[in-house]
């Protein structure tokens, strides 16, 4: 068993933002391996987020983010459970990072559950036709379509996308990590993105029936 030093704990805390004791436990579980310890912390964050997923989020903030010399603007609402958490540095930083990501990547939907049936079926039909053209058997074609749809969701759904500042982390995982630290459910409610010169804007909102889910 590797010796877990104070400098190792400090380095993990700086990289993850997790509490000192959690960092020490993660390093112990990973036998001192920093990268594996980060994975341990992320898994714990996801587990914590899953437990809190049904809790109502009626507080939060609306923020704006302006990018590229005023050429791109984002208006974003992110919810949490209490006004106290909404005012914390961790929550405010998360909201800023998500708004910045939206400005850079322009996701069309919040979650994959929000993709319209028409868009979903159109993409499936395209992927199915492409796969069929290769002469593959039907069972293989469906597997190919399934894989391509996963990639499609990653391209168009905010929560499925790799975070622009750290590609190894999805937006869902980014939110889950903050949920783990603050102890409250956090949800992205809606956003709008505008770009100078474009005739249409991106407007995305969580479907009402699923508005309290925390995926």
- Tell me the per-residue pLDDT of 38-85, one tens digit each, with 9 for 90 and over: 888 877 776 666 777 778 788 999 999 999 789 999 999 999 999 999
Model pLDDT, residue 14:
78
Residue 53: phi and psi, rounded to 5, are -60, -30
Helix axes 34-51, 20-29, angle to 10 degrees: 120
Structure-token match 């920093």, residue found: 34
Please tell me the distance from the alpha carbon of residue 53 to that of residue 212, in angstroms, as a whole number. 7
Please tell me the distance from the alpha carbon of residue 45 to that of residue 26, in angstroms, as a whole number. 12
The chain-wide mean pLDDT, for the chain, equals 88
């Amino acid at each position: 068993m590797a010796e877990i030093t104070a400098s190792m704990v400090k380095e993990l805390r700086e990289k993850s933002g997790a509490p000192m004791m959690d960092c020490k436990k993660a390093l112990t579980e990973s036998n001192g391996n920093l990268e594996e310890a980060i994975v341990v912390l992320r898994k714990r964050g996801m587990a914590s987020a899953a437990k809190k997923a049904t809790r109502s989020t009626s507080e939060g903030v609306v923020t704006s983010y302006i990018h590229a010399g005023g050429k791109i603007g984002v208006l974003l609402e992110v919810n949490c459970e209490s006004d106290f958490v909404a005012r914390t540095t961790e929550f405010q930083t998360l909201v800023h990072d998500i708004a910045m990501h939206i400005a850079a990547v322009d996701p069309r939907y919040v979650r994959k559950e929000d993709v319209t049936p028409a868009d979903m079926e159109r993409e499936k039909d395209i992927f199915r036709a492409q796969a069929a053209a290769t002469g593959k058997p039907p069972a293989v074609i469906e597997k190919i379509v399934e894989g391509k749809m996963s990639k499609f969701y990653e391209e168009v759904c905010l929560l499925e996308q790799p975070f622009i500042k750290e590609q190894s982390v999805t937006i869902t995982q980014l939110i889950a990590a903050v949920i783990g630290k603050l102890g409250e459910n956090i949800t992205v409610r809606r956003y709008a993105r505008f770009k100078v010169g474009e005739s249409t804007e991106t407007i995305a909102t969580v479907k009402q029936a699923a508005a309290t889910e925390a995926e």
